[in-house]
Amino acid sequence: MVEILNLDKMIPDDKQVILRGVTYKISGSLTVGMALGLFKKFGKFQENPQNMQAVQEVIESAVDIFKMANPSMDIVKFQNDLPVELIGELVKFLVKTATEVKEDEPEKKAEPEPVMMES
């Protein structure tokens, strides 16, 4: 039997974040680049939450993630509505989203019988 790992079945469902009454979608499958960028920028933010450059980079990374599923979102409104004290909570949620995987049992299919060629 051939084992098949169907990654499509393991992609998490989309998520939502509600901020000041506005619902924003988050794609269940973030790109590797977006996830790694978020991890790196959040690490800098955690080292020094008072560093405004680190705060801005984390927010920009979060906005990029939101824009995937909300291309027409009002970025300025999002940034203005997001309280600084909730940035960590938002990023933790995004990190969880980026690292989540649905469990799936590998599919097993019978291998085709070899065809014997007569010479």
**Beta carbons of 57 and 43 less than 8 angstroms apart:** no
pLDDT of amino acid 111: 58
pLDDT along the chain (119 residues), means of 10: 86 92 90 87 86 88 91 92 88 85 63 60
Q: pTM (2 decimals)?
A: 0.72
pLDDT of amino acid 24: 95
Q: How far apart are the first and last CA of the chain?
A: 28
pLDDT of amino acid 91: 87
Q: Which residue range forms the structural domain that includes residue 86?
A: 50-100
DSSP tag of 21: T
- 8-38 confidence digits (pLDDT tens): 888 888 999 999 999 999 998 888 888 888 8
- Total domain count for the chain? 1
